[in-house]
Amino acid sequence: MNRLKELRKKKGLTQIKVQMETGIDQADYSKMEHGKRYPTTEQAKQLSFLFETSLDYIYGITDDPTPYPRANPEKKDK
């Protein structure tokens, strides 16, 4: 998943910084970058927030990195 590496580099982050921001173990994240492991849905969600992109882009379903509009948490409470 070279996309993850590209997104990380674009943000100027190290793998350790990604771990600190998301809680995803650095060794697991490294495997994701090298295509040896796929992120769980929850990990992909965390990465999409960190990298400001969509789950579809993380999973390679689309080539458009534009994030989806985020739900407004205030509206959910009402």
Q: Domain of 30: which CATH number?
A: 1.10.260.40
Distance (Å, rounded) from C-alpha 78 to C-alpha 21? 30
Q: Quickly state the pLDDT bin for 78 (edges 50, 70, 90).
A: very low
Specify the number of domains making up the chain: 1
pLDDT at residue 11 is higher than 90: yes
- Convert the pLDDT of each residue in 19-76 to its tens digit: 999 999 999 999 999 999 999 999 999 999 999 999 999 999 999 999 988 876 665 5
Q: Tell me which residue range forms the domain holding 44.
A: 2-64
Are 16 and 26 in contact by the 8 Å Cβ rule? The answer is yes
Residue 69 lies in a domain: no
Q: How far apart are CA 46 and CA 61, in angstroms?
A: 17
**Can you give the pTM of this predicted structure?**
0.84
